[in-house]
Structure formats: structure tokens, C-alpha cells
């Protein structure tokens, strides 16, 4: 039966088809960039890959004339530090509140509505208040990520907690488990892989908050650099930085997936 | 090789159009597009568009001009550089570092004013002096005229940029940021300066009136477009000086014009007038021509170019500050084979001679 829904490309074709859109985008870029550069050799909007490579080279391999730092690496280090710190704190907060509100009804009643409301407040709108409370230094940048990400993780974990079949809880109790034991032996092991997938999903907004925070007041970081050179349209810096951020995001996402697959094999059985 | 050349030709034009990557050639089709953003020296453009004064002058020269207000200043320059606009309002430093450094040959059609106190360095605390800035964090929009002003201020008290730590801060957040504990020094422009100085225990320690004429506000036109269409230059200059004479008058019409501009920049007449006081407006074309023809112009541009080069604003390939040629009525600063920014008094002179 030759129906479209039954046609599965072979592994090599799948790879080829997967790469095709990327190749196409790069080709379109090269053609458009060439056309602009042919008209104006110093055009800044669509630099050639050669120009980007040159600029990136000086950012990656040469110390800055002004500060003596290797800009690319200090930017990456500062941003990753902020992002990871923010995400870890958000994960701890989110997991704790999600678990407790999901598993303990007396905790659910007072905290859950508050959590719902807080998760609906757009964190970017709170920025001026964040400055005044946390100052302008590292703390406010990490705080923005935490405030932006933690409520989402908490709500996701809460929902996952409520989805765990009641039978399991009752069974554990008939076997004599205390509340603490139910939490530690029934809930937490099942929720850990959910936490990882929740982090994977919120990582995108984590990056968003990081870059927004760095754009406002900063002296280093990937977002800082992008907003700084935007002042003079240096796309030869912006485009490689965006590609680098995407690659970093991809690697973090991949590492989380692998961790989850390695530590919680039972969770991934049957699913991809 | 042949196939790549062919693909380039085949794809080139359609892709360009479809990807919205308009080249300046495409954008120069009529009507002409000009843009401006909120700043005391550029508010007249909004008023001129609203009162159909631009339309009137465009009609006189048989063209059409569309005036667009852009909320984000840097974005307006980027759009101009990318070729979306034929002309745009910007400062001399930004004209050098964004379009000119990006290879877009630009002409300063109108030298509208220079900042005469609109940009300032402010320290927290009573009776501070500029020397107290040593060792402090200074919040400012990095690589903007504020940064240039700070560099010039530090020079005046024999300090270097390394003696302070510059923190890049968005202008939109400057006032909110000033209220926080960790901020002790800022450099910014009006109306933010006025807002910040209204808070207690703030000292203005340096302002642009101490480097008069160095931060200019220009109306910049794509040179090729202007050459092809002198009518555009005539219409814009004609409209501009009509507004100038209206708004500088102390009669009812002048007050009405200034009130409208004040409103558009979300202040009141008194606030707008106080901003005008720290702006040296060239209300008459003759005064603008005289300023542009002065010897100081090129030495100012040299200072700006040197600052820009040392901060990497002229591009990775720039070998020295003189990479980009700046042409003024008194000659050329920099590479005469690579003139990308021109101060042209032709049209302002026409206005001064009443020939428009």
C-alpha cells in the first residue's frame, strides 16, 4: 500500500533531508550577502562568512585592546555562570514548591493560588522594581531568571505531582510509609525526570531573561555584547554570537536529555 | 564557477526582494522616506510633518516626502544605513560610526544645532567635582555621545578611561537605575539629565557646554540620492528653515509650535524651553553655514574619529582613526580616497540667500 503516511525515508535520506533546510538558509544568506557586498564593500548588515570569521577570530583568540581580556570567553563565562546559577536556583525552588503544593493539600490551599498568579506576572515588567530591590549587579540578573523560570517549573511539577496515581500513594501508606517516606520514595523519584524535561522547556525563556537583563546594565556577557555592538550595526559580531548562543543552548539541552536517559531509563522506555 | 555565477544572478534579485533586504537602489524610488526620533533638536521634524510644511515644500519641487518618527534612535540610524530611509536625523558621531563606517556615503544636509549642556556627567552627592569620579562605576550608554563626553571630561582633569569603570546601561532605564544604591555616577542626555538632577543630592560635574560644538545634531542624507535628486535637498532644507523661523519667534505662532513639540516629547512648554536653552539651535541658515565653515569642524571630527577608532567603532579593518574621510567646507580629514561623510553647505547657503 503506497500511501504517503506509510513512506518512511531511510536513515541516510533522513539525515540528508534534515540538513537540507540548513544548507538552504546558508545559501540564501551567502547570495544575499554577496549581492549587498558587491554594491558596498563595507556593508555591515549582511557580512560575509569571511568577515565574520575574522571578527570572531579577534574576539576568540586575541586579547582586547582596551581591557586585555579575551572578550568571547569572558562573555561566555559570565553569561553561562548567570544562566546556570539562575536555572539551578529556579529548579530547586520550582521543584520544592511544585512537589509540596502537589502532594500536601494543607500546603496546596494557601500557596497554589499565589503561585498561579505569580507565574502570570510578566517578569520583564517588574525589571525596574528588581533593580531597586536587588541592585544592578549579578544578583538582579540571576533574580530575573529565577523569577521568570521558577513559577513555570513549579506549576509544571505541581501538575505532574497530581498526575501520579493515587493508588500508589495509598499502597505506600498501607505498607506503613510516613508522609516523608512517601515523598522521598514515591514522589521524588518519579518527578526527577519530569523536572529535567521541565528545565529543558524553560531553558529558552531562561536565555531570554538572561539577555534582557544583560541588555539593561552590564559590563560583560553574551547579551551585553550583542546590545553593545548593535549601537554601530556590527552584524559581524552579532550573528556569530547568536549562533554561539544557539549552540550552547543546544548542548545544554542535549546534556540534560542524556542525563535524564542515563539516570531514569525507565522513564524513557517507549518514548523518544 | 560558471554555475555559481549563474545561481548568483538567478537568485540574487528575487531573493533580495523576498527577504526584504532592500538595497539603497531599491529604496531610492519615489516617494522619499526620511526619519527622525525624539530629541529636542529634532522635534521640529515631527511638527513640520504634522503641519504639512514638508508636504508643501515637497510639492513645490515636484516630489513626495514621507516623514516617519522612529521610537528607537539607534534603530532609526540602522534602518537608514540599511537603505530603508533616504535621510535621517543623527549626531555627528553616530553619522561617522554607523552609516559612514558601514560604507554608506552620507551628507550632512542640515547642521541643526549642537549640544550646549544637554549632555552631562552627574555624580551622586552634594558639591562633588569631576575629579571625584575616579574609581567609580559610571553608568551610560556605551559607545554613544555620552561615552564620548565622558572621555572628553576625563581628559580635562587628566584622568583616563581606565580610571573609571563604564557600565553599559540602556537610556530607557537610566532614571530608574539612578535611584538604586549601587549607582553613583551617570552620563546621559536630556530630558534624562533634567529628570536626574531633580533628585536631591546630585551634582552635575561636567556638561557639553564645556566642549561646545563637538556634539552636533545633523540631518543626514544618502549622498548618491541627494546628487540624483537635488530637489529632495531643497525641499527638506526649505521646510526646516520655515519651521526654524516659526519656532524661534516669541509670538503666538511660535509658542503654539513649541507647545506642540513639547507635547510630542511628553513635557510642557517650560520643560521644552529649558531643553532649548542647553541646545545651541541654528535658527537661521546663515548661522548654520557659518558654524559648518568654521575651522573647528574638522578638528572636532578628528577628535570624534580618534575616540571612535580607539573604541573599535570604525570596524575591525580600520588601521587608524583616519580610515574614513570626512569632507568639510575647509577640506578633508582622513583618507581622501574614502570620503564617506560630507558636510555640505550648498543647500543651507541657498536658504540663507533666499533662493529656495
pLDDT for res B2:
42
Return the residue of A nearest to B25 by Cα.
A39
Do strands B331-333 and B325-328 pair parallel, antiparallel, or not at all (unpaired)?
A: antiparallel
How many contacts, defined by CB atoms under 8 Å, are there between A and B?
123
pLDDT of residue B3: 47
DSSP-based three-state secondary structure for B142: coil
**What stretch(es) of chain B map to CATH 3.40.190.10?**
27-114+215-352, 119-210
Which chain A residue is nearest to residue B160, measuring alpha carbons? A66
**A217 contacts B177? CB cut-off 8 A:** yes
Q: Which of B333, B343, B298, B311 is nearest to B144 (CA)?
A: B311
Nearest CA to B102 among A51, A97, A14? A51
Is the domain spanning B27-114+215-352 CATH 3.40.190.10? The answer is yes
8 Å CB contact of A136 and B170:
no
Domains of chain A: 72-263 (1.10.3720.10)
Chain A contact for B316, CB < 8 A? yes
Report yes or no: B72 and A231 within 8 Å, Cβ to Cβ. no
Average pLDDT over residues A226-251: 92
Q: Selecting from 3.90.1010.10, 3.40.190.10, 3.40.50.720, 3.40.1360.10, what CATH number does the domain B119-210 have?
A: 3.40.190.10
Instruction: Give how far B334 is from chain A: nearest CA, Å.
Output: 17
Residue B354: DSSP 8-state? T
The model's pLDDT over B159-179, given as tens digits with 9 standing for 90+, comes to 999 999 999 998 888 988 898
Minimal C-alpha gap between A41 and chain B (Å): 7
DSSP labels, B162-211: GGSEEEEE-GGGHHHHHTSTT--EEEEETTHHHHHHTSSSEEEEEEGGGS
d(CA B93, CA B100): 10
Q: Is A42 within 8 Å of B81 when comparing Cβ atoms?
A: no
Contact A135 B180 (CB under 8 A): yes
The fraction of chain A above a pLDDT of 90, given in percent, is 65
Q: What residues form DSSP beta bridges with B66?
A: B33
pLDDT band at A271 (very low <50, low <70, confident <90, very high): low
Are the C-beta atoms of B90 and B35 separated by less than 8 Å? no
Q: Which residues of B touch A128 (CB under 8 A)?
A: 173, 176
The complex's ipTM? 0.80
Q: What pLDDT shows up at residue A262? A: 94
* A32·B15 Cβ contact <8 A: yes
Residues 24-53 of B with CB under 8 A from A: 24-25
Cβ separation A127–B316 shorter than 8 A: no
A199, A87 Cβ separation under 8 angstroms: yes
Banded pLDDT at A217 (limits 50, 70, 90): confident
Length of chain A: 272
Grid cell listed for B107: 551628507
pLDDT averaged over every residue in chain B? 89
Among residues of chain A, what percentage have pLDDT more than 70? 98
B137 pLDDT band, cuts 50/70/90, is: very high
Distance from CA of B283 to the nearest CA of A (A): 30
**Segment B181-230, tens digit of pLDDT:** 889 999 999 888 989 999 999 999 999 999 999 999 999 999 999 999 99
Residue-wise pLDDT tens digits, A36-66: 999 888 888 889 998 899 888 888 888 877 7
pLDDT in tens, B50-85: 999 999 999 999 999 999 999 889 889 999 999 999
Which chain A residues are Cβ-neighbours of B77 within 8 angstroms? 233
Checking DSSP bridges between strand B325-328 and strand B279-281, what pairing results, if any? unpaired
Chain A positions with Cβ closer than 8 Å to B: 28, 31-32, 34-36, 39-46, 51, 54-55, 58, 65-66, 127-128, 131-132, 135-137, 215-219, 224, 227-228, 230-234, 236
B326 touches chain A (CB under 8 A): no
Q: Which of B103, B105, B147, B313 to mutate to test the interface with A (most CBs of A within 10 A)?
A: B103
Looking at the complex, does the CB of residue B166 fall below 8 Å from at least one CB of chain A?
Answer: yes
Q: Which of residues 182-201 of B touch A (CB under 8 A)?
A: 182-183
Computed from CA positions of residues B344, A229, A61, A37, in that sequence, does the dihedral angle turn out positive or negative?
negative
Residue B226 and residue B232 in contact, taking contact as beta carbons nearer than 8 Å: yes
Dihedral sign from CA coordinates of A24, A29, A34, A36 = positive
Under a CB-based contact definition with an 8 Å cutoff, are residues B60 and B242 in contact? no
Chain B residues closer than 8 Å to A239 by CB: none
pLDDT over 50 (residue B1): no
Q: Which residues of A touch B311 (CB under 8 A)?
A: 66
Query: How does pLDDT run across B3-58, given as a tens digit for each residue?
Result: 445 444 444 444 444 444 444 444 444 799 999 999 999 999 999 999 999 999 99
Q: Which residue out of A32, A37, A42, A51 would a mutagenesis test of the B interface target, given it has the greatest number of B Cβ atoms within 10 Å? A: A42
Specify whether the backbone of A121 is left (phi greater than 0), alpha (psi in -120 to 50) or beta: beta
Give A19-32 as a DSSP string.
Answer: HHHHHHHHHHHHHH
Please, which pLDDT band fits residue A270 given cuts at 50, 70 and 90?
A: low
User: Do A219 and B168 count as a contact with CB atoms less than 8 A apart?
Assistant: yes
Chain A, nearest residue to B6 by Cα: A31
Give the residue-averaged pLDDT of A86-108. 95
The answer to whether B224 contacts chain A (CB < 8 Å) is no
CA pair distance A136, B165, nearest whole angstrom: 14
Written as nine digits, the cell of B201 is 543630592
Q: Please write the tens of the pLDDT for every residue from B241-272.
A: 999 999 999 999 999 999 999 999 888 999 99
110-139 of B, contacting A, C-beta below 8 A: 139
Walk across the sheet containing B137-140 and list its strands. A217-218, B165-169, B137-140, B185-189, B119-124, B202-207
Amino acid at each position: 500500500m503506497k500511501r504517503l503516511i506509510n513512506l518512511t525515508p531511510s536513515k541516510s535520506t533522513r539525515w540528508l533531508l534534515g540538513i537540507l533546510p540548513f544548507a538552504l538558509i546558508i545559501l540564501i544568506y551567502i547570495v544575499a550577502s554577496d549581492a549587498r557586498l558587491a554594491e558596498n564593500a563595507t556593508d555591515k548588515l549582511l557580512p560575509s562568512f569571511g568577515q565574520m570569521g575574522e571578527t570572531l577570530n579577534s574576539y576568540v583568540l586575541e586579547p582586547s585592546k582596551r581591557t586585555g581580556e579575551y572578550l568571547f570567553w569572558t562573555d561566555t563565562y559570565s553569561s553561562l555562570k548567570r544562566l546556570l546559577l539562575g536555572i539551578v536556583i529556579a529548579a530547586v525552588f520550582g521543584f520544592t514548591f511544585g512537589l509540596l503544593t502537589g502532594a500536601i493539600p494543607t500546603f496546596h490551599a494557601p500557596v497554589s493560588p499565589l503561585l498561579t498568579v505569580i507565574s502570570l506576572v510578566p517578569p520583564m515588567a517588574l525589571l525596574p522594581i528588581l533593580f531597586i530591590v536587588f541592585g544592578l549587579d549579578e544578583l538582579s540578573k540571576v533574580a530575573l531568571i529565577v523569577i521568570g523560570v521558577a513559577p513555570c517549573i513549579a506549576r509544571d511539577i505541581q501538575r505532574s505531582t497530581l498526575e501520579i496515581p493515587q493508588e500508589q500513594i495509598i499502597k505506600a501508606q498501607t505498607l506503613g510509609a510516613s508522609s516523608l517516606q512517601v515523598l522521598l520514595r514515591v514522589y521524588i523519584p518519579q518527578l526527577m525526570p519530569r523536572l529535567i524535561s521541565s528545565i529543558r522547556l524553560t531553558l529558552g525563556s531562561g536565555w531570554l531573561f538572561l539577555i534582557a537583563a544583560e541588555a539593561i546594565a552590564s559590563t560583560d556577557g553574551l547579551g551585553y555584547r550583542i546590545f553593545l555592538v548593535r549601537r554601530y550595526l556590527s552584524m559581524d559580531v552579532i550573528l556569530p554570537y547568536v549562533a554561539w548562543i544557539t549552540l550552547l543552548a543546544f548542548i545544554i539541552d542535549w546534556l540534560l536529555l542524556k542525563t535524564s536517559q542515563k539516570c531514569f531509563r525507565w522513564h524513557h522506555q517507549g518514548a523518544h | 564557477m560558471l554555475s555559481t555565477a549563474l545561481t548568483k544572478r538567478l537568485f540574487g534579485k528575487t531573493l533580495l526582494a523576498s527577504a526584504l533586504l532592500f538595497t539603497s537602489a531599491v529604496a531610492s524610488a519615489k516617494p522619499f522616506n526620511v526619519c527622525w526620533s525624539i530629541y529636542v533638536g529634532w522635534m521640529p521634524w515631527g511638527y513640520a510633518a504634522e503641519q504639512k510644511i514638508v508636504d508643501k515644500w515637497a510639492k513645490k519641487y515636484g516630489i513626495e516626502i514621507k516623514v516617519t518618527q522612529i521610537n528607537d534612535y539607534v534603530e532609526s540610524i540602522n534602518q537608514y544605513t540599511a537603505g530603508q530611509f533616504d535621510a535621517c536625523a543623527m549626531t555627528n558621531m553616530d553619522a561617522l560610526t554607523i552609516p559612514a563606517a558601514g560604507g554608506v556615503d552620507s551628507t550632512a544636509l542640515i547642521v541643526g544645532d549642537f549640544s550646549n549642556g544637554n549632555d552631562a556627567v552627574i555624580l551622586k552627592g552634594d558639591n562633588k567635582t569631576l575629579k571625584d569620579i575616579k574609581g567609580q562605576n559610571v553608568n551610560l550608554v556605551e559607545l554613544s555621545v555620552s561615552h564620548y563626553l565622558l572621555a572628553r571630561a576625563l581628559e580635562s582633569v587628566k584622568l583616563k578611561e581606565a580610571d573609571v569603570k563604564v557600565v553599559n546601561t540602556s537610556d530607557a532605564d537610566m532614571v530608574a537605575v539612578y535611584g538604586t544604591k549601587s549607582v553613583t555616577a551617570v552620563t546621559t542626555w536630556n530630558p534624562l539629565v533634567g529628570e536626574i538632577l531633580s533628585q536631591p543630592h546630585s551634582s552635575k560635574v561636567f556638561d557639553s557646554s564645556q566642549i561646545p560644538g563637538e556634539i552636533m545634531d545633523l540631518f543626514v542624507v544618502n549622498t548618491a540620492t541627494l546628487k540624483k535628486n537635488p530637489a529632495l535637498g531643497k525641499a527638506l532644507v526649505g521646510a526646516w528653515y520655515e519651521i526654524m523661523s516659526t519656532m524661534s519667534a516669541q509670538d503666538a505662532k511660535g509658542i503654539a509650535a513649541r507647545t506642540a513639540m513639547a507635547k510630542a516629547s511628553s513635557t510642557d512648554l517650560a520643560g521644552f524651553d529649558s531643553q532649548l536653552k542647553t541646545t545651541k539651535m541654528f535658527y537661521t541658515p546663515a548661522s548654520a553655514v557659518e558654524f559648518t565653515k568654521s575651522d573647528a569642524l574638522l578638528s572636532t571630527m578628528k577628535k570624534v574619529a580618534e575616540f571612535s577608532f580607539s573604541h573599535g567603532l570604525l570596524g575591525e579593518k580600520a588601521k587608524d582613526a583616519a580610515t574614513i574621510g570626512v569632507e568639510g567646507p575647509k577640506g578633508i580629514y582622513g583618507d581622501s580616497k574614502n570620503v564617506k561623510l560630507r558636510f555640505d553647505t550648498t543647500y543651507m547657503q541657498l536658504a540663507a540667500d533666499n533662493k529656495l
